[in-house]
């Protein structure tokens, strides 16, 4: 059985058309379209799951390949249409432990900030931790992979130097998505992703809340034919994150 996907012409007067899938109930829904293929999503539904999801909605709405963003309530929004179902959504975006269950109930695939695969989740790891691992995945021999963020636990295992305005911080050894990651509590509102390889040092520094929202929203670029984490589609994911406003700096 196959999906029919309505192709949207690149003009400002285009109308949304709903994707149809033969046997959708038996298969648990159509596979979403791949953002990196050059075809855009018709509509992205953002689950009302907190501030990070709200920030992701704004990043998605400003991105040129996204046609429409709605909030799936119950919720109130001054900026987005609020709907109760995901009937016309190609993809859902949500944060927190309850998001996968909500996506399964709504019957649409989910981009999630959770650490590992879950039923109904098309992309996971769309978080500051996953963003850091995506940076590191481009390095052949990563020596240090570290994240500083206001929302992570304080470390005491080692010290790592992050870009200003964070500086040298105590880090804690952790594992995220079965990969090693050093984490540090930021002393201010800023966050930094750091990947040091044999030949270069790559960083992203921004406001922590903004970085979290972009990390979640950019996960739509990692959607593929089968579920996967954002670092499995690192180039597309990082490109979309920079298009949404993050800046990568590289020191050789």
Give tens-digit pLDDT for 127-137: 999 999 999 99
Lookup: tokens for 233:
């589609």
| Mean residue pLDDT across the chain | 85
SS3 249: strand
Give tens-digit pLDDT for 72-124: 988 889 999 999 999 889 999 999 999 999 999 999 999 999 999 999 999 99
| 32 close to 223: Cβ distance less than 8 angstroms | yes
Cα distance between residue 90 and residue 4, in whole Å? 12
SS (H, E, C) 4-73: ECCCCCCCCCCCCCCCEECCHHHHCCCCCCCHHHCCCECCEEEECCCHHHHHHHHHHHCCCCECCEEEEC
| Residue the block writes with tokens 């309530």 | 73
Cα distance between residue 153 and residue 63, in whole Å? 32
* All structural domains of the chain: 3-124+219-230 (3.40.50), 129-210 (no CATH)
Pairs from 3-10 (Cβ < 8 Å, separation ≥ 24)? 3/30, 3/31, 5/33, 5/39, 6/42, 7/39, 8/39, 8/40, 8/42, 8/67
Is residue 32's pLDDT more than 60? no
pLDDT at 157: 81
In this prediction, residue 194 has a pLDDT band, given cuts at 50, 70 and 90, of: very high
CB burial string 6-44: b at 16+ within 10 A, e below:
eebeeeeeeeeeebebeeeeeeebbbbbbbbeeebbbbb
In this prediction, residue 154 has a pLDDT band, given cuts at 50, 70 and 90, of: confident
On the 0-12 / 13-18 / 19+ scale of CB atoms within 10 A, 164 is: exposed
Contacts of 199 (CB under 8 A, 6+ apart): 252
Give tens-digit pLDDT for 37-72: 444 456 899 999 999 999 999 999 999 889 999 999
SS (H, E, C) 139-180: CCCCCEEEEEECCCCCCCCEEEEECCCCEEEEEEEEEECCEE
Cα distance between residue 122 and residue 227, in whole Å? 4
Helix, strand, coil % in the chain, rounded to nearest 5 = 25, 30, 45
Whole-prediction pTM: 0.84
């Amino acid at each position: 059985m196959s999906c029919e996907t309505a192709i949207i012409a690149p003009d400002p007067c285009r109308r949304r058309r709903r994707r149809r899938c033969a046997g959708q109930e038996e298969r648990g829904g159509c596979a979403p379209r791949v953002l990196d293929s050059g075809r855009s999503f018709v509509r992205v539904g953002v689950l009302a799951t907190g501030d990070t999801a709200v920030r992701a909605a704004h990043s998605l709405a400003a991105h040129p390949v996204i046609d429409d963003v709605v909030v799936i309530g119950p919720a109130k929004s001054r900026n987005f249409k609020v709907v109760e179902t995901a009937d016309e959504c190609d993809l859902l975006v949500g944060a927190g432990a309850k998001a996968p269950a909500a996506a399964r109930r709504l019957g649409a695939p989910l981009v999630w900030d959770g650490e590992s695969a879950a039923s109904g989740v098309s992309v996971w790891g769309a978080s500051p931790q996953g963003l850091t691992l995506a940076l590191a995945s481009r390095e052949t021999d990563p020596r240090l992979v570290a994240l500083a963020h206001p929302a992570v636990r304080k470390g005491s295992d080692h010290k790592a130097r992050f870009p200003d305005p964070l500086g040298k911080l105590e880090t804690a050894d952790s594992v995220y998505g079965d990969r090693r990651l050093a984490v540090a509590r930021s002393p201010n509102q800023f966050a930094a992703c750091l990947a040091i390889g044999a030949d270069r040092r790559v960083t992203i520094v921004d406001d922590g809340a903004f970085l979290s929202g972009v990390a979640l929203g950019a996960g739509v670029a990692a959607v593929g034919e089968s579920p996967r984490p954002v670092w499995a589609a690192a180039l597309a994911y990082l490109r979309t994150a920079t298009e949404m406003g993050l800046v990568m700096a590289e020191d050789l």
